[in-house]
């Protein structure tokens, strides 16, 4: 282990300067009954080499596979420069930029991140980041409830099931009723929204939705607005390089998970949530905001601003309890979109879409039709005829994970497989996997 | 300070004008808050009871509720404050007014402090 | 000269990296993405070559103060060293490439690490169950209060109120309010500790929980903790510990042993994971046996063959506070930290943190007001009242420290100390480094007497001077817009 700097001699000098004989004298405010007298029951300490070996062995107990699983956590090409920049200690070992004069690096990158989110989502304002996508959507719900003074929210069943679970968790203690809007042929009918929208604070939908289907955003937004509610879009940031952004279509809040463009899947975290809204809602927006200003000499600089919304000032009246979030991953997001640029991002989105369609045709030929007619990008749902689990088991023995068995999400979807095709999959991998799928169905 | 105004212990002032009650923040309050950066205004037509919160006022490092000094319906709001919240600092009794209320019971005015009483109230270390 | 915004750099057509050519037959994009759905106006994103991109971020990075550059005594934030080996381990491909929804048998390594970390944190806290799901300390608090609510509901009444001391972190009342509780704030006593009489008056059958930071935000151990826990539990309320200051207690006091029912920890404070300029962190919640049924799903359970799997069958669970399972990459670093230190090593951490704080206090206490005398635990709070009389405020002294290559302490917190400076040196600073900071602080005290104007105008040598926060708030400029040409 890395050793602590204080030597025996240091300790003696320091105790004498403090004016006590023994270290334990400093602990005299702790009553004897509160003291822990034993030794914590922990595994023995490991020196650095042994530690590295041990943890590496643990990591190798995970089984690498060729994966077609997305469902909210996406493997994409990650330019090497992303980790190269994020690894800099100046970013990694600083904290929240409370002292702006010595935090301009972090502050400016956050401003640049906010700009990227504003540009991608088409919204007017974005915050410095959220923990991750699910809680960002839940906070968006709280914003809508606060802005409208209404106490129910509609949520499309096309929203990721675990995100819906988070929304329920945040809603419950606040007495907010969460009203599901069922899908029809894989997408959210605006008629179903209109039937339920009366008195609701808004509608939460996901684009593309959990099953990969592209929704008719425009009609969903109009349906929620017609009843005086807000429209909250949960979006995949890469999709926004090719799909019309929610802001351009009139949505009030856009939220989501930025992991796909920032970090490896890493067993679900850390990713980076984002939250963007219209100017009108800015004082309902939780979390940190960085703004540009000037110093006494007129030099441009950046500060945390509109802090009066936040917990350290408003305490129980704050918009949220959020303080620290995911700055370093937000930086990773910024570096990724900067390294690829608008054309590189669109190319990544387009290649993933092309490969997904190529692979979908290959599956179709082998007897796996699309479950829904709606257009899709790089994720789609197929019918498997028999339980999808059979294909997952069958292909795992060959080192391939063919997708998410939707039966694990809902028993009535047991014969559906949710397939994600990264732009990193090669034609050979796609052909081989389609073949394996065919073999299982004939095997 | 203006002779015709009445004040609250929450540091709002109110002045009867053409049958309406004009409401703002006292000079003492704006001085304590420092640079005002935002005033959240109520909707026109909204009704407030005396003592109810009708808006908030934000400085760089603080935010305070604004309480309605009397009961009534919002007749007008000072939209100038949306772009120029600094008016509350610069001219709190005139250009920096906040709302104009249609009073439901003008006699409520009599319960409020006169400016002389208010002066005494703030010099008495009211907050402590 | 200020560094340009990245959107001002580069030139149309430039790009740092590209993908290989498409290796499948290309279809008509119009057929795949219908018109009306397809994006019309592309986003304004940087178009920049890789060297210029790297230079931009390198030039920005050097404007930051950070732990690996200099002293960072930000009280309550525990800015300790971040062991480099942990960065290597968190990036291991076996972890980084594991998808969160993999069938459990593919992810036994990740699950094993999480299960062991849960158990180690429970042991450190003297409690029985841990959830690693919360992404930050405030998120852990929120989770904890949801658990409190669910616990009381299971007894037929969610109760109404949360009590916090007036020295509490602002997140405590904010979190309580997010789960629908009213907040009752109680004043601290003359020693800066919980006033038992005030607590007694505030407690009743509608009290859901008393949230206490221990050591408290003054750096003082709540020495009447045993009476406090008896009083709280006598009303059927729960006792919550904000674990922000756990760096003082490792192996010295286990919160569970002193009557706390639940504790959130900040892995980015106590357990050495990097702060990242404000995240990612992790805020696990550790609870007593009776609260375990309410923890977020899924829970990790062990099958008969020793393998681990997720269990969603927890009917009393509050649900989920995050889409996946927690900030796994942060958990790897904390796991590695605890495994490297072991039981004795962790106790040494807290001992050294306490020794450094008391030594620093001894070096500077004659020159500042100290409203609540020590010994302190891992941090202490000075008041700048003496300097304020000379026209120098704590904010000014904080800015002057920046000139001297040090980060400032946490200032104006806790709210119960006027002109507060909350100072936490941490155990990874050497004696010489603590002394160097003490010298800098004493110099500032000298300057405050001899040349108050100079201190008032600080900082003098930072990349920018004091920034106009009023302008930033009145005319919010929160995103770059390309000037119209």
Q: How does residue C1 score in pLDDT terms, banded at 50, 70 and 90?
A: low
Residue-wise pLDDT for B19-53, tens only, equals 899 999 999 999 988 999 999 999 999 999 999 99
Tokens encoding B18: 């053409």
- As its CATH architecture, domain A80-335 has 3-Layer(aba) Sandwich (3.40)
pLDDT value, residue B2 = 53
In this structure, of A222-226, A345-349, C174-178, the range with the lowest mean pLDDT score is: C174-178
C70 to each of A72, A327, B6, B25, C402, how far by Cα in Å? 39, 21, 56, 46, 10
Q: How far apart are the first and last CA of chain A?
A: 53
Chain mean pLDDT for chain A: 96
**Nearest CA-CA distance, residue B58 and chain A, Å:** 7
A293 and chain B: CB distance < 8 Å anywhere? no
C295 and C279 share one domain: yes
B46 and chain A: CB distance < 8 Å anywhere? no
C333 and C368 share one domain: no
Report how far residue A320's alpha carbon sits from residue C327's, in angstroms, rounded to the nearest whole number.
Answer: 20
**Are the Cβ atoms of C278 and A348 closer than 8 angstroms?**
no
Domain contains C181: yes
Report how far residue B5's alpha carbon sits from residue B23's, in angstroms, rounded to the nearest whole number.
Answer: 9
**Are the Cβ atoms of A63 and C105 closer than 8 angstroms?**
yes
Mean pLDDT for C304-323 is 97
C385 and C334 share one domain: no
Task: Please name the residue of chain C whose CA is at the shortest distance from the CA of residue A5.
Answer: C430
C427 and C460 share one domain: yes
Mean pLDDT for C209-219 is 97
Which residues in chain A touch residue B37, judged by CB atoms under 8 angstroms apart? 308
pLDDT value, residue B126 = 44
CATH classification at residue C365: 3.90.1150.10
Which residues in chain A touch residue B58, judged by CB atoms under 8 angstroms apart? 308
On the question of a common fold for A66-75+341-442 and A80-335, the answer reads no
Any idea what DSSP says for residue A366? T
C66 and chain A: CB distance < 8 Å anywhere? yes
Domain contains C477: no
Selected for mutation to probe chain A from B46, B58, B62 (highest A CB count within 10 Å) is B58
Which residues in chain A touch residue B38, judged by CB atoms under 8 angstroms apart? 283, 308
C252 and chain A: CB distance < 8 Å anywhere? yes
Mean pLDDT for C31-42 is 91
Task: Find the domain containing C403 and state its range.
Answer: 348-470
Mean pLDDT for A403-426 is 97
Which residues in chain A touch residue C124, judged by CB atoms under 8 angstroms apart? 40, 42
Report how far residue A390's alpha carbon sits from residue A436's, in angstroms, rounded to the nearest whole number.
Answer: 12
- Answer yes or no: are the C-beta atoms of A39 and C346 closer than 8 Å: no
C186 and chain A: CB distance < 8 Å anywhere? no
Q: Indicate the pTM of the whole model.
A: 0.96
C365 and C303 share one domain: no
C202 and C238 share one domain: yes
| Count of C-beta atoms within a 10 Å radius of residue C90 | 24
- Answer yes or no: are the C-beta atoms of A142 and A170 closer than 8 Å: yes
C63 and chain A: CB distance < 8 Å anywhere? yes
Residue-wise pLDDT for A330-371, tens only, equals 999 999 999 999 999 999 999 999 999 999 999 999 999 999
Domain contains C3: no
**Are the Cβ atoms of C48 and A341 closer than 8 angstroms?**
yes
Domain contains C145: yes
pLDDT value, residue A2 = 67
Which residues in chain C touch residue A241, judged by CB atoms under 8 angstroms apart? 39, 42-43
**Are the Cβ atoms of B63 and A309 closer than 8 angstroms?**
yes
Report how far residue C84's alpha carbon sits from residue C82's, in angstroms, rounded to the nearest whole number.
Answer: 6
Report how far residue A169's alpha carbon sits from residue C143's, in angstroms, rounded to the nearest whole number.
Answer: 10
**Are the Cβ atoms of C478 and A289 closer than 8 angstroms?**
yes
**Are the Cβ atoms of C473 and B58 closer than 8 angstroms?**
yes
CB pairs under 8 A between A and C: 671
DSSP strand pairing (B53-59 vs B47-48): unpaired
Q: How does residue C308 score in pLDDT terms, banded at 50, 70 and 90?
A: very high
pLDDT value, residue A211 = 98
Residue-wise pLDDT for C337-364, tens only, equals 999 999 999 999 999 999 999 999 999 9
Tokens encoding A287: 């979390």
Task: Please name the residue of chain B whose CA is at the shortest distance from the CA of residue C473.
Answer: B37
pLDDT value, residue B3 = 58
In this structure, of A11-20, B102-111, C259-268, the range with the lowest mean pLDDT score is: B102-111
Which residues in chain B touch residue C470, judged by CB atoms under 8 angstroms apart? 35, 37, 60
- Sequence ranges of the domains in chain A: 66-75+341-442, 80-335
Residue-wise pLDDT for A36-64, tens only, equals 999 999 999 999 999 999 999 999 999 99
From the centroid of its chain, how far is CA A37? 43
**Which CATH number does the domain A66-75+341-442 belong to among 3.90.1150.10, 1.10.3720.10, 3.40.50.460, 3.40.190.10?**
3.90.1150.10
Report how far residue A273's alpha carbon sits from residue A63's, in angstroms, rounded to the nearest whole number.
Answer: 28
Chain mean pLDDT for chain C: 96
| Helix axis angle, A427-442 to A327-365, nearest 10° | 50
| Phi, psi angles (nearest 5°) of residue A291 | -125, 155
Task: Please name the residue of chain A whose CA is at the shortest distance from the CA of residue B63.
Answer: A308
H or E element in which residue A339 lies: helix A327-365
C326 and C404 share one domain: no
Mean pLDDT for A134-144 is 98
**Domain termination site, one of C316, C340, C364:** C340
**Nearest CA-CA distance, residue A148 and chain B, Å:** 13
C64: β partners: A103
In this structure, of A198-202, B124-128, C378-382, the range with the lowest mean pLDDT score is: B124-128
Selected for mutation to probe chain A from B60, B65, B83, B85 (highest A CB count within 10 Å) is B60
pLDDT value, residue B128 = 38
Domain contains C116: yes
Domain contains C34: no
Among residues A105, A360, A215, A263, the alpha carbon closest in space to that of C63 is found at A105
What domains does chain B contain, in order, with CATH numbers?
6-112 (2.40.50.100)
pLDDT value, residue A326 = 95
**Nearest CA-CA distance, residue A328 and chain B, Å:** 26
H or E element in which residue C262 lies: strand C262-265
C330 and C393 share one domain: no
C236 and C281 share one domain: yes
Q: How does residue A179 score in pLDDT terms, banded at 50, 70 and 90?
A: very high
CA quadruple C106, C110, C114, C117: dihedral sign: positive
Q: What SS3 class is residue C429? A: coil
CATH classification at residue C120: 3.40.640.10
Would the pLDDT of A145 be above 90? yes
C380 and C254 share one domain: no
Q: How does residue A322 score in pLDDT terms, banded at 50, 70 and 90?
A: confident
C240 to each of C126, C139, C148, C304, how far by Cα in Å? 14, 14, 9, 34
**Domain termination site, one of C311, C340, C369:** C340
pLDDT value, residue B125 = 54
Tell me the residue length of chain A. Answer: 443
Domain contains C6: no
Domain contains C65: no
C373 and C250 share one domain: no
**Domain termination site, one of C308, C340, C372:** C340
Which residues in chain B touch residue A317, judged by CB atoms under 8 angstroms apart? 63
C421: β partners: C382, C411
pLDDT value, residue A81 = 98
Residue-wise pLDDT for C113-172, tens only, equals 999 999 999 999 999 999 999 999 999 999 999 999 999 999 999 999 999 999 999 999
| Phi, psi angles (nearest 5°) of residue C409 | -65, 175
Overall number of domains in chain C: 2
Q: How does residue C368 score in pLDDT terms, banded at 50, 70 and 90?
A: very high
| Count of C-beta atoms within a 10 Å radius of residue A407 | 18
Which residues in chain B touch residue A314, judged by CB atoms under 8 angstroms apart? 63
Which residues in chain B touch residue C469, judged by CB atoms under 8 angstroms apart? 60
Of A19, A36, A119, the CB nearest to C44: A119
Which residues in chain C touch residue B37, judged by CB atoms under 8 angstroms apart? 470, 473-474
pLDDT value, residue B127 = 45
Written as one string, the DSSP assignment of A249-313 is HT-SEEEEE-GGGTS--GGG-S--EEEEE-GGGGGG--S--EEEEEBTT--EEEEE--GGGSHHH
C306 and C450 share one domain: no
A42 to each of C44, C111, C307, how far by Cα in Å? 52, 18, 21
C170 and chain A: CB distance < 8 Å anywhere? yes
Would the pLDDT of A165 be above 90? yes
């Amino acid at each position: 282990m890395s050793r602590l700097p204080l030597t025996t001699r240091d300790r003696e000098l320091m105790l004498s300067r403090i004016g006590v004989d023994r270290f334990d004298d400093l602990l005299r405010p702790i009553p004897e009954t509160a003291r822990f007298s034993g030794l914590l029951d922990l595994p023995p300490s490991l020196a650095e080499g042994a530690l590295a070996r041990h943890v590496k062995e643990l990591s190798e107990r995970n089984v690498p596979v060729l994966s077609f699983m997305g469902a909210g956590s996406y493997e994409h090409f990650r330019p090497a420069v992303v980790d190269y920049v994020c690894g800099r200690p100046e970013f990694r070992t600083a904290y929240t930029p409370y002292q702006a004069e010595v935090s301009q690096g972090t502050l400016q990158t956050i401003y640049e991140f906010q700009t990227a989110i504003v540009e991608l989502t088409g919204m007017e304002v974005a915050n410095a980041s959220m923990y991750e996508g699910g809680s960002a959507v839940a906070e968006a719900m709280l914003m809508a409830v606060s802005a409208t003074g209404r106490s129910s929210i509609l949520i499309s069943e096309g929203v990721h099931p675990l995100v819906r679970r988070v929304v329920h968790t945040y809603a419950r203690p606040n007495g907010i009723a969460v009203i599901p809007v069922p899908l029809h042929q894989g997408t959210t009918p605006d008629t179903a929204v209109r039937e339920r929208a009366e008195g609701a604070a808004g509608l939460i939908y996901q684009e593309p939705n959990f099953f990969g289907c592209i929704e008719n955003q425009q009609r969903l937004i109009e349906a929620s607005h017609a009843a005086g509610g807000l429209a909250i879009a949960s979006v995949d940031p890469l999709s926004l390089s090719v799909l019309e952004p929610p802001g351009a279509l009139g949505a009030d809040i856009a939220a989501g998970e930025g992991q796909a463009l920032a970090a490896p899947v890493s067993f679900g975290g850390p990713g980076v949530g984002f939250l963007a809204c219209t100017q009108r809602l800015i004082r309902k927006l939780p979390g940190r905001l960085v703004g540009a200003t000037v110093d006494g000499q007129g030099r441009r600089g950046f500060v945390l601003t509109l802090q009066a919304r936040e917990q350290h000032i408003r305490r129980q009246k704050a918009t949220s309890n959020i303080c620290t979030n995911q700055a370093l991953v937000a930086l990773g997001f910024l570096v990724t979109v900067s390294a690829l640029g608008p054309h590189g991002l669109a190319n990544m989105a387009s290649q993933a879409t092309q490969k997904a369609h190529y692979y979908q045709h290959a599956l179709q030929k082998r007897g796996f039709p699309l479950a829904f007619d709606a257009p899709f990008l790089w994720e789609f749902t197929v019918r498997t005829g028999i339980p999808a689990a059979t294909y997952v088991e069958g292909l795992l023995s060959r080192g391939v994970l063919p997708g998410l068995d939707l039966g694990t999400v809902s028993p009535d979807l047991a014969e559906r497989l949710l397939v994600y095709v990264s732009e990193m999959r090669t034609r050979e991998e796609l052909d081989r996997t389609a073949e394996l799928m065919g073999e299982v169905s004939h095997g | 300070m203006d002779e015709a105004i009445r004040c609250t212990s929450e540091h709002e002032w109110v002045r009867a004008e053409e049958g309406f009650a004009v409401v703002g923040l006292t000079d003492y309050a704006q001085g304590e808050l420092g640079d005002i950066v935002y005033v959240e205004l109520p909707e026109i037509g909204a009704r407030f009871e005396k003592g109810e919160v009708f808006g908030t006022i934000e400085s760089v490092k603080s935010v305070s509720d604004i309480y309605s000094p009397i009961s009534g319906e919002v007749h007008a709001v000072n939209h100038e404050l949306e772009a120029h919240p600094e008016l509350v600092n610069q001219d709190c009794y005139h250009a920096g007014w906040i709302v104009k209320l249609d009073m439901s019971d003008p006699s409520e005015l009599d319960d409020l402090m006169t400016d002389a009483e208010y002066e005494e109230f703030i010099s008495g270390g009211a907050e402590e | 000269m200020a560094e340009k915004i990245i959107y001002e750099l580069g030139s149309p057509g430039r790009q740092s990296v590209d993908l290989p050519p498409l290796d499948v037959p290309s279809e008509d994009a119009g057929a795949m993405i219908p018109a009306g759905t397809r994006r019309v106006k592309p986003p304004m994103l940087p178009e920049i070559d890789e060297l210029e991109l790297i230079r931009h971020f390198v030039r920005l990075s050097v404007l930051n103060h950070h732990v690996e550059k200099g002293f960072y005594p930000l009280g309550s934030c525990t800015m300790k060293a971040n062991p480099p080996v942990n960065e290597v381990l968190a990036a291991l491909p076996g972890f980084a490439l594991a998808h969160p929804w993999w069938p459990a048998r593919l992810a036994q390594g990740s699950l094993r690490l999480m299960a062991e970390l849960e158990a180690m944190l429970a042991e450190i806290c003297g409690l029985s169950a841990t959830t690693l799901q919360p992404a930050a300390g405030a998120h852990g608090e929120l989770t904890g209060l949801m658990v409190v609510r669910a616990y009381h509901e299971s007894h037929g009444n969610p109760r109404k109120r949360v009590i916090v001391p007036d020295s509490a972190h602002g997140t405590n009342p904010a979190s309580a309010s997010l789960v629908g509780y009213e907040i009752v704030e109680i004043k601290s006593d003359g020693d800066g500790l919980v006033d038992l009489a005030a607590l007694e008056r505030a407690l009743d059958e509608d009290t859901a929980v008393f949230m206490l930071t221990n050591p408290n935000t003054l750096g003082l151990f709540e020495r009447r903790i045993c009476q406090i826990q008896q009083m709280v539990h006598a009303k059927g309320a729960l006792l919550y510990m904000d674990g922000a200051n756990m760096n003082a207690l490792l192996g010295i006091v286990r919160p569970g042993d002193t009557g706390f029912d639940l504790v959130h920890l900040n892995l980015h404070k106590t357990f050495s994971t990097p702060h990242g300029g404000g995240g990612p962190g992790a805020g696990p919640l550790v609870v007593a046996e009776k609260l375990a049924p309410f923890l977020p799903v899924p829970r990790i359970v062990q099958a008969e063959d020793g393998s681990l799997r997720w269990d969603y069958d927890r009917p009393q669970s509050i649900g989920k506070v995050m889409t996946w399972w927690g900030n796994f990459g942060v958990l790897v670093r904390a796991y590695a930290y605890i495994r490297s230190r072991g039981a004795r090593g962790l106790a040494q951490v807290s001992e050294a943190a306490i020794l450094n704080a008391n030594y620093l206090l001894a070096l500077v206490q004659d020159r500042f007001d100290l409203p609540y005398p020590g010994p302190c635990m891992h941090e202490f709070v000075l008041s700048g009242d003496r300097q304020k009389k000379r026209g120098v405020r704590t904010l000014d002294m904080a800015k002057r420290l920046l000139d001297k290559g040090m980060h400032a302490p946490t200032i104006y917190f806790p709210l119960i100390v006027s002109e507060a400076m909350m100072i936490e040196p941490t155990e990874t600073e050497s004696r010489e480094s603590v002394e160097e900071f003490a010298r800098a602080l004493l110099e500032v005290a000298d300057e405050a007497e001899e040349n108050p104007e100079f201190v008032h105008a600080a900082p003098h040598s930072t990349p920018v001077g004091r920034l106009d926060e009023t302008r930033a708030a009145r005319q919010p400029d929160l995103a770059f817009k390309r000037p119209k040409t």
